[in-house]
């Protein structure tokens, strides 16, 4: 049986070795990988299919999260649209490393990231999913009143809108269109029953992400037989790598994986990041 195609998004410009490594890991596991971009990615690994991102989402819906400057909001919307436009495709962030082939269950593939919250770094939803339909409806409004917010917060947002000063989603807390919305609508529809354990896709929890750049990373304490991916929290990892020259320290997990897949970090060092987003 053919494996599902993996869909990724990179806005523009060259990959660092981290993105090269993650994309190559899917190819090496036998997945076809389609990379959508609004520009040119001159150093994408050979074997990736490069496609115009406007096939899925036009440029006029590109905007960034105000506090961090991250394009995560656009990326959130893009992955939901991808589920409809390309049924059966699995979304993967460019900082998601593939340990084993991804096998969806009834078209679903995602896992808990932290207690009570499903992360969307790897995501597949069937195009008939009610949660997906609700996510698409919710993200049509750039000035939403999230139903999971506390009553006081919802009242404040409603009052702001009524006085002609609605709050744009880019000014709201991180994850309003991402993990917060995904978790809410999966729960409302009961589709969170398909969510796999944290260890499957996020074996290194966000609060222990620093282990990913340490020489003593205790692989067996985190990655288990059920793990199919490692999420590298790209903004955090690139920032840490940028502080030491952009390449991984010998003996670290990233160093070992780069050598395993034939990736040369020195040829595409990580740039210094100016901000760190909480879930990327």
Residue 277, pLDDT above cutoff 70: no
Domain 6-198 sits in CATH at: 3.90.550.20
3-state secondary structure of 9: strand
Mean predicted confidence (pLDDT) in 243-262: 94
Radius of gyration (Cα) for the chain, nearest Å?
18
Tens of pLDDT along 192-240? 999 999 999 999 998 889 888 888 878 888 999 999 999 999 888 999 9
Residue 280, pLDDT above cutoff 50: no
State residue 66's pLDDT score: 61
Residue 279, pLDDT above cutoff 80: no
Nearest to 39 by CA among 18, 20, 62: 62
Q: Contact 199/224 with Cβ under 8 angstroms?
A: yes
Phi and psi at 230, nearest 5°, equal -125, 125
3-state secondary structure of 141: coil
State residue 213's pLDDT score: 87
3-state secondary structure of 117: strand
| Dihedral angle, C-alpha 88, 35, 32, 22, nearest 10 ° | -110
Nearest to 84 by CA among 39, 140, 145: 140
To the question of pTM greater than 0.95 for the whole model, the response is no
Tens of pLDDT along 10-26? 999 999 999 999 999 99
In this prediction, residue 168 has a pLDDT band, given cuts at 50, 70 and 90, of confident
């Amino acid at each position: 049986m053919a494996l599902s195609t993996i869909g990724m998004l990179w806005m523009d410009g060259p990959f660092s070795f981290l993105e090269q490594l993650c994309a190559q890991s899917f190819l090496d596991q036998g997945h076809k990988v389609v990379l959508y971009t609004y520009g040119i990615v001159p150093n994408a690994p050979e074997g990736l299919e490069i496609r115009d991102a406007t096939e899925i989402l036009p440029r006029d819906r590109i905007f960034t999260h105000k506090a961090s400057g991250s394009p995560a909001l656009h990326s959130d919307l893009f992955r939901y649209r991808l589920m409809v436009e390309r049924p059966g495709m699995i979304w993967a962030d460019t900082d998601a490393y593939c340990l084993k082939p991804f096998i969806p269950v009834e078209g679903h593939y995602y896992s808990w990231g932290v207690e009570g919250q499903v992360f969307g770094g790897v995501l597949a939803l069937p195009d008939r999913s009610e949660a997906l339909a609700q996510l698409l409806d919710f993200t049509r409004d750039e000035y939403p009143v999230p139903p999971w917010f506390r009553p006081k917060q919802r009242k404040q947002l409603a009052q702001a809108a009524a006085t002609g000063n609605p709050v744009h989603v880019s000014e709201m807390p991180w994850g309003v269109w991402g993990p917060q919305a995904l978790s809410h609508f999966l729960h409302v529809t009961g589709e969170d029953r398909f969510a796999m354990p944290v260890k499957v896709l996020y074996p290194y929890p966000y609060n222990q992400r620093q282990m990913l750049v340490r020489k003593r990373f205790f692989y067996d304490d985190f990655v288990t037989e059920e793990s199919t991916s490692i999420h590298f929290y790209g903004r955090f990892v690139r920032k840490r790598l940028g502080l030491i020259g952009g390449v991984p320290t010998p003996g670290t997990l990233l160093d070992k994986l780069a050598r395993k897949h034939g990736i040369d970090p020195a040829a595409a060092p990580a740039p210094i990041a100016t901000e760190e987003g909480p879930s990327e």
